[in-house]
C-alpha cells in the first residue's frame, strides 16, 4: 500500500517501460477497497501502469466509499452529492500527483470504475474531459448532479466510454444504466454499451470486452 499521495493506492508498474506509459486507474464501489479491482491488474496489459485507489470515506467495518449513501424512513436512498463532487475533484488532483511522481502519459489516462466508482468516473470524464482518454463504467449510472459539463463539446472529441451492466443487478436498476446513452448524446461521445447475465458484479466476458476496449 502506498500512502505518499492524497489517496492511498496499490501500484502495478508496466513490465515494458517507455519514456511514458499509459495509466489504468481502478475505482472500487461502495463499501469495498483498493484490493477489490486490483485483482484485475495481473490480467491487464503489460504496457500500463495499473493503480487501484482507496476511496476517502470509511464504511464500517472494513470498507470505503466515494460518498455517503443514506436511507429515509421509507427506505428511499439518497447520495451525498457534495461528498461525490469532493471525491471527483480529489481524484483529478490525485491523477495530477501520479503524473508528477511516475512517467505516466497524461494523454492516456483510463478510468475503470465499478458501481459507485463508475458513477464517479462518468463525473470526472464529463467535468474534466481533458484529463481522461477512456472510461470503463461497470454497473454504474449517470448522475448529472455531480457533473459540471463543458459548453464547448469539442472538449469531448477524444473521449470514448464503455458502459456495462448485469441483467440481474439487484443493487442498481438496469434501466438507470440504459439511460446513459441519452445523457451522453449531446456530447457526441462514442459510447459502447453491453449487458451480461449477472447480478451486481463483473461477468468474465465483461472483463474480456472492457480489456479489449481499453487496449485497442
Q: Is residue 54 part of a domain?
A: yes
Q: Is residue 186 part of a domain?
A: yes
CB 143 within 8 A of CB 123: yes
Q: Is residue 2 part of a domain?
A: no
| Confidence band for 50, pLDDT divided at 50, 70 and 90 | very high
Residue 205 is part of a domain; what is its CATH number?
Answer: 3.40.50.1820
| Confidence band for 130, pLDDT divided at 50, 70 and 90 | very high
Task: Express each pLDDT in 136-190 by its tens digit.
Answer: 999 999 999 999 999 999 999 999 999 999 999 999 999 999 999 999 999 999 9
Q: Is residue 85 part of a domain?
A: yes
| Confidence band for 74, pLDDT divided at 50, 70 and 90 | low
Q: Is residue 136 part of a domain?
A: yes
Number of H helices, E strands in the chain: 6, 11
Please name the residue that has the C-alpha cell 443487478.
169
What confidence score (pLDDT) does residue 112 get? 97
**Mean pLDDT calculated for residue range 11-25:** 95
Domain extent at residue 106: 9-215
The grid coordinates listed for 86 are: 469532493
CB 143 within 8 A of CB 168: no
How far is C-alpha 175 from the geometric centre of its chain's CA atoms? Answer: 19
What global pTM score does this model have? 0.95
Q: Is residue 3 part of a domain?
A: no
What confidence score (pLDDT) does residue 79 get? 85
Q: Is residue 1 part of a domain?
A: no
Q: How many domains does the chain have?
A: 1
The β-bridge relationship of strands 191-196 and 160-166 is parallel
Q: Is residue 38 part of a domain?
A: yes
Amino acid at each position: 500500500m502506498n500512502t505518499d499521495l492524497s489517496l492511498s493506492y496499490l501500484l502495478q508498474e508496466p513490465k515494458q517501460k517507455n519514456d511514458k506509459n499509459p495509466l489504468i486507474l481502478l475505482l472500487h464501489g461502495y463499501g469495498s477497497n483498493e484490493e477489490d479491482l486490483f485483482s484485475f491488474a495481473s490480467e491487464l496489459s503489460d504496457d500500463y501502469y495499473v493503480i487501484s485507489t482507496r476511496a476517502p470515506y470509511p464504511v464500517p467495518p472494513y470498507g470505503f466509499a466515494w460518498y455517503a449513501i443514506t436511507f429515509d424512513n421509507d427506505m428511499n436512498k439518497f447520495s451525498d452529492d457534495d461528498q461525490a463532487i469532493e471525491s471527483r475533484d480529489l481524484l483529478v488532483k490525485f491523477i495530477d500527483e501520479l503524473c508528477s511522481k511516475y512517467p505516466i502519459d497524461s494523454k492516456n489516462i483510463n478510468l475503470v470504475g465499478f458501481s459507485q466508482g463508475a458513477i464517479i468516473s462518468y463525473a470526472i470524464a464529463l467535468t474534466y474531459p481533458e484529463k481522461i482518454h477512456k472510461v470503463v463504467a461497470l454497473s454504474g449510472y449517470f448522475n448529472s448532479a455531480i457533473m459540471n459539463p463543458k459548453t464547448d463539446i469539442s472538449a469531448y472529441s477524444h473521449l470514448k466510454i464503455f458502459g456495462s451492466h448485469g441483467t440481474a443487478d439487484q443493487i442498481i436498476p438496469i434501466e438507470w444504466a440504459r439511460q446513459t446513452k441519452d445523457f451522453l448524446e449531446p456530447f457526441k461521445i462514442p459510447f459502447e454499451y453491453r449487458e451480461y447475465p449477472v447480478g451486481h458484479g463483473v461477468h468474465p466476458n465483461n472483463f474480456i470486452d472492457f480489456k479489449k476496449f481499453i487496449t485497442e
